[in-house]
Structure 1
Amino acid sequence: MIDKSVASAEAAVADIFDGARVMIGGFGTAGMPDQLIDALIAHGAKDLTIINNNAGNGDTGLAALLKAKRVRKIVCSFPRQSDSYHFDALYHAGEIELELVPQGNLAARIQAAGAGLGAIYTPTGYGTLLADGKETREIDGRQYVLEYPIHADFALIKALHGDRWGNLVYRKTARNFGPIMAMAAKCTIAQVSDIVPLGALDPEGVVTPGIFVQRLVAIGNAVRAAA
């Protein structure tokens, strides 16, 4: 019987190793898997490369992971928000590496990894410092920059409901990067509000099929009896 549910967030992240590449879903705090991040902090893995849309907000979630100095490098689009002060302090102290990626390119490169593409050409960044040292090419009279897929060892994402096979549905904008990150990581760990019986999810509403999810953990609500 296929059952991808695990008993706790701590058990779900227990094999994340030092130096791992970890994608973390969320657009700011919307859709961020806070409990999985808290479990990762408690687990103690360090020297991580984090792929996320921004560089943490306030003192919770990704910001708490940065504050704990577990991150060696961050790949993101928006590192300088008003409440990204933990990243700001680490960066100015030379204690964290930043790879700045325009948001469209970030999504496209993650999608490319999930689709098994070797590389993509994008016009975004051409003629700027972000294209320095990268291959460029003219296609139909327009200049493009060669960008490579972004892969990860693990993806930590948040969904609304899941079943024991790992099929996921999301809540509104909390969906954001979760679906494409699930496709681009070797091991996807999903935090859900509850785990519902097989057949309870409308197949037309399933955004992330279970084939892309290796583990899921119910946070905050009791797990319903699985069919």
Structure 2
Amino acid sequence: MRQSERDDAWTSRIASSGPPIHQERARQTRQLILRAAAEEFAANGFRSTSLVHVAQRAGITKGAIYHHFGNKENLAASVVEEHYSMWPSLVAETRDQGLNSLETIVTLLERVATVFRDDSLVQASARLQIERSTIGLPLPTPFVGWTELMTDLFRAAHKDGYLRPECSPEMAARVMVAAFFGIQHISDTLHGRRDILERWDEVKRLVFPGICRQGVEVP
């Protein structure tokens, strides 16, 4: 094989090992913009966020934002969609820990509380959902997915004998979603979510005994 043929074969193997370089660079730029926008939206809200400030925070031109997202409304909607795309992997990781059904619920919600405290993308999405009427684009309806997920998890807990007979999985899911996202919002409003884990611990200690059978120890 001639040197030129060997070089062509090597180039072909590199090209087949992943996406083209320009596609990967575009993906990285898009993620950089989303993170910078999330920090701005979380701090300032939709109306007060400027694409100029997003570009400055990301270290790119404003034209790059328009190239990837078109306008501020699409950028905000993309931040919310990116936030929702985070949860399936977190749920899967928690389910793969080998916990029982009740431990899975408790552990998952504690991890979610930690993400709300630490991740600007999630914080921005929560604020944008509150401001959804000012954005002018449809956003995913909040709480529906979480209620469906909690219903599935509480059905497993019911099957395993953890729930009170008078407490259906659907009822437990509605109460838990309301309690969790209620303390999330209050913690954000009053303390910037710095105390969200303490507030979650209060929910765990007070709400789960009303959902679980007497004698069931809450993790």
Q: Say whether the fold is shared (TM-score over 0.5).
A: no
Instruction: Give the TM-score normalised by the residue count of structure 2.
Output: 0.28
Instruction: Point out the structure with the larger strand share.
Output: 1
Instruction: Give the TM-score normalised by the residue count of structure 1.
Output: 0.27
Instruction: Point out the structure with the larger helix share.
Output: 2
